[in-house]
Amino acid sequence: MSALLCAALDAMYWKPIQTGSREGTDRATVQRLAELPRNRLIPEAYSFAPPVSPHLAARRARVSINLNKIQIPRLHNAVNLVVEGAGGVFVPLNENQLMTDLMQHLRLPVLLVARSSLGTINHTTLSIAALRAAGIDIRGVIMVGKPNLENRKAIEHYGKICVIGIVPQLTRIDKTSLLRAFRKHFDREALAA
């Protein structure tokens, strides 16, 4: 999803907390898929090798994730920035803070990415409720997978939110296919707000 947004919005990419780096980083994947030059990529504030939740990866590395050490990079006002989380909204970062705390700390609007398949109504509306309870500005939902009109309608109705984009199953994932999906399945005006 981040690669699609970076390619479509000519954005820079930053994932403040990366786990599972022994299998490669999301930064490297986004760079390859969106064909971003290195100067459009911001290094992680924390990076851990094991593919586990941030709190556990940090504990195993004998460090503690400190939100005060995670600051939005200084960029020109005209530059778009895509910031990717690590897991869901209630994923723990340390002994006391969750991903929602990082979102509050960064004070950026959030796009919630959800699967389109069975179970998404419950999972997505719970995540929306958690974000709203934390006072986080949710701009919309992006659904990934085979389009499901009934799930989309339910999320919009019960979540009282717009689905602003859909990423269908792609047979090939590269910059061209990502841009094509964006042009065909996204509300560009909603992202400009």
Catalytic residues: 15
Q: What is the DSSP string of 126-174?
A: HHHHHHHHTT--EEEEEEESS--HHHHHHHHHHHT--EEEEE---SS-S
CA dist., res. 48 & res. 61, Å (int): 8
DSSP-derived secondary structure letter, 89: T
Half-sphere exposure of 37 (CA within 13 A, CB side): 2
If DSSP codes are grouped into helix, strand and coil, which group holds residue 81?
Answer: strand
Burial class (CB in 10 A: 0-12, 13-18, 19+), 126: middle
Q: Which residues contact 185 (CB under 8 A, 6 or more apart)?
A: 165, 166, 167, 168
If DSSP codes are grouped into helix, strand and coil, which group holds residue 40?
Answer: helix
